[in-house]
Structure 1
Amino acid sequence: MTDATSDPDKIEAPTPDNALRAADAADGPMLAADGTPLKKSLNRALRAQKLRALLLIAPLLIFVLLTFIAPIVDMLFRSVENQIVSETLPRTTRALADFDAGTGEIPGEPVYEAAYYDIFLASERKEHTRLGSRLNYEQTGASSLFRRSGRGLDDIGEVYQDQFEDLDENWDEAEPWAEMMGSPEWLNAQRGWTEEDGAMPEFELREGVAEVLPKTAEFYEIFARFTQVEDEDSPLEEEPWSMVHTALYQDLAAGDVSGYDGPHAEMLQAADELVDSPDFETVSFTDGFEEVDEDWADPEIWNTIKMYAPPYTTGYFLNAVDMEKTVDGPQLRDEDERIYGLLFKRTMFMSMVITFSCIALGYPVAYLLSNLPARSANLLMILVLLPFWTSLLVRTSAWKVMLQQQGVINDVLVWLGLVADDSRLVMINNQFGTIVAMTHILLPFMILPMYSVMSTIPPSFVRAARSLGATNWTAFWRVYFPQSVPGIGAGSILVFILSIGYYITPEIVGGTTGTFISNRIAYHISSSLNWGLAAALGTILLVVVLVLYWAYDRIVGIDNVKLGG
């Protein structure tokens, strides 16, 4: 009897190994049933499978992107966004580029000139108040300064406007201006326009007028298009802003219009002679600003404008950590102005206290529920869930009634003789009131995860430990408690994250010493409208939470957190 060989090459019948060897030796790739290369067919099937899986989760993915990722990205952007200064004061920020803010002196006349045109235009567009509100976050009084300036800068232009009108009444009319500055094609189109035609023909400058009167042409064009688009009026019927007269004076004082032969050449040349005469009254932009408000003679406002001229800023984050931007770099604020560091510390401390309070009160309840018969446990679980059926505002207001000095708890203590009537406890509008109210509100969020874990612990483990001689305490501490730790971890994360972002309850019962950083964020969003600072505070709070989550994962391990099973 011969021995069976194990060499596949010596076996005459076909084997899998021989089939693979033959496939490898064959010319060309292995083919699928439809004749396409097997590798290509498998890749196509895999892509189709992944696409089907992506389509299944697409609604959830879109929902998460729109409701979670997008708001966070928007918050991060708002915390550094600062385009309002450079967009509203483009000429001023460019003129301030060479201004040395550390000299303690005011900038030169070119800066005031640029500011005049920028603020005048911003006032017409109703943007100067928004800019003032933005700068008011950094320098108190900036908001009222820009409001007054928006109304007062007309005085500078009226100095020139009145003199031109005294020379020739046509300077007070809209049509001569339009004929001098507008192209013939636009004039004909504008004169023939009616409301039935829809939008007005867009204003076009006359050829060559920008070389003769550069500033006047620039600002008249802005005026004309603003009048057409924003006011929906015709430049043929609206006389120019006083700012345009100021620009005309500057052009006539700096250039020569004797060679101009366009419309109203004689009127323009007469105005040129008037400007050159010694009797013509002028006012410098620096003096004009000081007449509007003496704060424009303070270097601090110009320092603030220059510091916040870049489109992105760290100012919001510096304010969020009790610092400020100065000409010498970031510096800590005065001690009596540092509030955010205190609020962050208070938020962390009180959130920890609330979490440990919920653990201390919730663990016995979860233990009882998990060891009772199902009928009794379900009945008691209704009592745990009962607070969810009541409005958060009602529950918080109830604690305000109970904790106040004339409230139920103080009345009971006085009735029992534990507290004198004239020495009632102060339990509201402080940290104690916030901790009590929030512990009550967040306690179910601690009980439910612990109960779900405890209900999966087999009772036989504790009985086995007792049968081996362990005391009740030893059996609980060495056998039962370690298995319940994942539930404590899940409940702690849930309660801590919820408490760190609460603001309704601290706002109602916290007073001045029991509020969280979230209350300040809500204030800046709804009251002060300083959304940049609110975004910076929210970003810092998010980073703190992520760091604590990372630390928890390193110390405890997020894999040990369970919600049952």
Structure 2
Amino acid sequence: MATAQSALPSGAASGGPSGGPTDGVLRTNDGVPLKTTLRRVNRRQKIIAFGLVLPLFLFILITFLAPIGMMLFRAVDNPVLQEQIPRTVALLNETWDGEGLPDDAVYDTLAEEMIQQYKVREIAKVGTRLNYEQGGLRSLITSTARTIARRAEPPWKEAFIKIDERWGEPETWGIIQNAAPRYTLSFVLAALDLRYDWQGDIVSQPENEQIYVKMFVRTIWISGLVTVLCLALGFPVGYLLANLPMRQSNLLMILVLLPFWTSLLVRTTTWIVLLQTEGVLNDIMVWVGLISDDGRVQMIYNQLGTIIAMTHILLPFMVLPIFSVMKTISPSHMRAARSLGATPPRAFWDVYVPQTLPGIGAGSILVFILSVGYYITPALVGGRTGQLISNFIAYHMQKSLNWGLAAALGGLLLLGVLVLYWLYNRLVGIDKMKFG
């Protein structure tokens, strides 16, 4: 204690700055306990560090986390019927138990709200929402609204049934009732090729409408195959880059990075020129006699074209992590293994390859995740059999405007990627992943 006190400024171990009997508490020159001062300093440093990180946190929140949250919310949000025909929905839930037809008051209320929404040209929103549940309901809603707004007269129940017999069927009202809640799993079920029937039970979609599960399977299959092909092609390239002299290695690295300096659209359209039936590759095969002129191979606008183009575009993302890890492996390891009697293939497989696993894991995860969400390349070269789930998400966002289904598909895709990431962490360990 004497040594510690002697190293402190005058008055640090005393009751005050002017000295006095010691109380056993270390103090600064101004008499504040040293522990209190350290806490203040640590608090100030944390505030400064938080202030420095805050812009990055806000950027991630606004550009990444908030859009994902909005997407997941959109997958269960269902405000259309609650906003367009709220009184009909409320009365239907109160008075109808699913047996027979609703009361006349429900028909009267729906007629009033239909006329109102038809005048402001919003009734099509109701029809579009119901059409997601069963095809043909959009035309039913719009034609009925147009008829009752122009020439139909009460009593509305008879008028509705006269316009279209479906208004006299419980199935139609059951669909309206099931589609009415503000929050629903209808879009998520549709993304899994399921749906609610008019009684509220979960059933499978008709067989000719079951497409999304198949698309998810195709997306995982193509992404996995592209990852394997990139690994098979990228591992030798990474090994060559890591073991060549610096001059040659730098030249080859420029060639690896060169695709990043070229537009993705240009690279994709180049493959269209190369792979089409009248393209360069078919012409070469005909010229050397591998195929006849009548037997040209269709390598574009199908799954093969998607795999070839995506493998070429994503190959650098596999080469760079593998090369960065291989560059850190000492050549003495292989020499030591061979000096102990191992053959070159045995030394390579048992000594060298295990040290490259962190780079292989990083490259594989990177390529697979990029492949799962790829959109432009499958859209241009995929044709009917080479489309991925991302193309259907874009379709529902841009063409059909079914944002709920698009959000549900995106949410399931995100969930699948997180599950695969979790499995990789459990089986391999994310801490073993290295980019250099």
Instruction: Report the TM-score, using the length of structure 2 for normalisation.
Output: 0.91
Any conservation in 1 of the 2:196–2:202 contact (CA below 8 Å)? yes
Give the partner amino acid of 2:58. I
Moved more, 294-303 or 25-34: 25-34
Q: Deviations over 1:199-253 (max 9, x none)?
A: xxxxxxxxxxxxxxxxxxxxxxxxxxxxxxxxxxxxxxxxxxxxxxxxxxxxxxx
Matched, 1:351 2:223: yes
Question: Is 1:562–2:434 an aligned residue pair?
Answer: yes
Q: Is the 8 A contact 1:129 1:147 kept in 2?
A: yes
Partners of 1:290 and 1:156 in 2: CA distance: 15
Partner SS, residue 470 of structure 1: coil
Alpha-carbon distance in 2 for matches of 1:48, 1:301: 65
Question: Is 1:509 paired with 2:381?
Answer: yes
Cα distance in structure 1, aligned partners of 2:381 and 2:61: 35
Does residue 73 of structure 2 align to residue 77 of structure 1?
yes
Q: Distance in 2 between matches of 1:484 and 1:502?
A: 27
Structure 2 equivalent of residue 491 of structure 1? 363
- Cα distance, 1:354 vs. partner? 0.3
Q: Which residue of 1 aligns with 2:168?
A: 297
Q: Is 1:63 the equivalent of 2:59?
A: yes
1:95 paired residue number: 91
Worse-matched range after superposition: 360-369 or 142-151: 142-151
Q: CA RMSD in A?
A: 2.4
- Deviations 1:101-151 (CA, angstroms, capped at 9, x unpaired): 643x33221111111122222223332112221211112122223322343
**What residue in structure 2 maps to residue 426 of structure 1?**
298
- 1:401-428 CA-to-partner distances (Å, cap 9, x unmatched) read 2222222212211222222222222222
The residue that corresponds to 1:33 in the other structure is 29
- Decide which of 368, 378, 393 is 1:521's aligned counterpart: 393
Cα separation, partners in 2 of 1:465 and 1:298, compared to 1, 3 Å: same
Residue in 1 that maps onto 2:18: none
Cα distance in 1, alignment partners of residues 44 and 123 from structure 2: 56
> What is the letter of the counterpart of residue 380 of structure 1?
L
Contact in 1 for aligned 2:178/2:200 (Cα 8 Å): no
Distance change (3 Å), C-alpha of 1:374 and 1:15: closer
Contact 1:355 1:495 in 2 (8 A): yes
Structure 2: distance between partners of 1:544 and 1:515: 18
- 1:260-281 CA distance string (max 9 Å, x none): xxxxxxxxxxxxxxxxxxxxxx
- Correspondence 1:353-368 to 2 at 5 A: 353-368=225-240
Alpha-carbon contact 1:86-1:311 (below 8 Å) kept: yes
CA distance in 2, matches of 1:293, 1:540: 38
Cα offset, 1:76, TM superposition = 0.6
Match of 2:157 in 1: 286
The one of 289, 307, 330 aligned to 1:458: 330
Structure with bigger gyration radius: 1
1:384-416 Cα shifts (integer Å, max 9, x gaps): 111112211121112122222222212211222
Tell me what 2:194 maps to: 323
Report the Cα distance in structure 2 between the residues aligned to 1:319 and 1:405, rounded to whole angstroms: 38
1:286 Cα deviation (Å)?
Answer: 0.9
Distance in 2 separating the partners of 1:298 and 1:28: 89
In structure 2, C-alpha distance between the alignment counterparts of 1:310 and 1:83, rounded to whole Å: 8
Structure-1 residue corresponding to 2:114:
119
Identity %: 52
Report what 1:132 is aligned to. Answer: 127
**How many angstroms does 1:521 deviate by?**
0.6
The alpha-carbon deviation at position 156 of structure 1 amounts to 6.2
1:142 is aligned to 137
Please show how residues 371-410 of structure 1 align to structure 2 within 5 Å.
Answer: 371-410=243-282
1:367 and 1:319 map into 2 onto residues whose CA distance is: 46
Q: 2-side partners of 1:480 and 1:473: how far apart?
A: 10
- Opposite residue 109 of structure 1, the aligned amino acid is D
The 8 Å contact of residues 31 and 37 in structure 1, kept in 2 or not, is answered as: yes
Q: CA contact under 8 A between 2:234 and 2:319: conserved in structure 1?
A: yes
Aligned equivalents of 1:35, 1:328: Cα separation in 2: 74
Q: How many residues align?
A: 426
Deviation at 1:71, TM superposition (A): 0.5
- What per-residue deviation string (whole Å, max 9, x for no partner) do you get for residues 474-509 of structure 1? 221122111111111110011000000001111111
1:48 aligns with 2:44: yes
Is contact 1:145-1:293 (8 Å) kept? yes
CA contact (8 A) 1:359 1:488 kept: yes
CA 1:141–1:368 in structure 2 vs 1: closer, same or farther (change >3 Å)?
same
Aligned 8 A contact 1:148 1:293 in 2 = no
CA displacement, residues 296-347 of structure 1 (integer Å, 9 cap, x when unaligned)? 3343331111001111000000000000011151111122221111011111
Amino acid at match of 2:105: P
Q: Which amino acid aligns with 1:136?
A: N
Matches within 5 A, 1:144-293: 144-155=139-150, 283-293=154-164
Contact 2:223 2:368 in 1 (8 A): yes
Q: Structure 1 residues 290-299 or 84-93, which shifts more? A: 290-299
**What letter corresponds to residue 321 of structure 2 in structure 1?**
P
Whole-angstrom distance in 1 between the partners of 2:377 and 2:334: 41
Q: 2:183 aligns with which of 304, 312, 325?
A: 312
Q: Secondary structure at the match of 1:34?
A: coil
Structure 1 residues 423 and 510: CA distance shift in structure 2, 3 A: same
Q: What letter is aligned with 2:269? A: S
Match of residue 199 from structure 1: none
Amino acid at match of 2:172: I
**Which stretch of structure 1 is more off in the superposition, 447-456 or 142-151?**
142-151
Residues in 1 aligned to 2:22 and 2:127: alpha-carbon distance in whole angstroms = 81
Tell whether the 8 Å contact from 2:118 to 2:149 is kept in structure 1 after alignment.
Answer: no
- Which digits, 9 at most, give the CA deviation of each residue in 1:282-301, with x for residues without a partner? x2011232344444334333
Displacement after TM superposition at 1:372 (Å): 0.7
1:380 deviates by 1.0
Change (3 A) 1:504 1:26: same
Following the alignment from structure 1 to structure 2, what is the Cα–Cα distance between the partners of residues 156 and 101? 31
TM-score, structure 1 as length reference: 0.71
Query: Structure 2 vs 1, CA of residues 31 and 527 (structure 1 numbering), >3 Å: closer, same or farther?
Result: same
Residue type matched to 1:519 in 2?
A: N
Measured after TM superposition, the shift of residue 437 of structure 1 is 0.8
| SS state at 1:324 partner | strand
Q: Does residue 1:339 correspond to 2:334, yes or no?
A: no
Tell whether 2:408 aligns with 1:539.
no
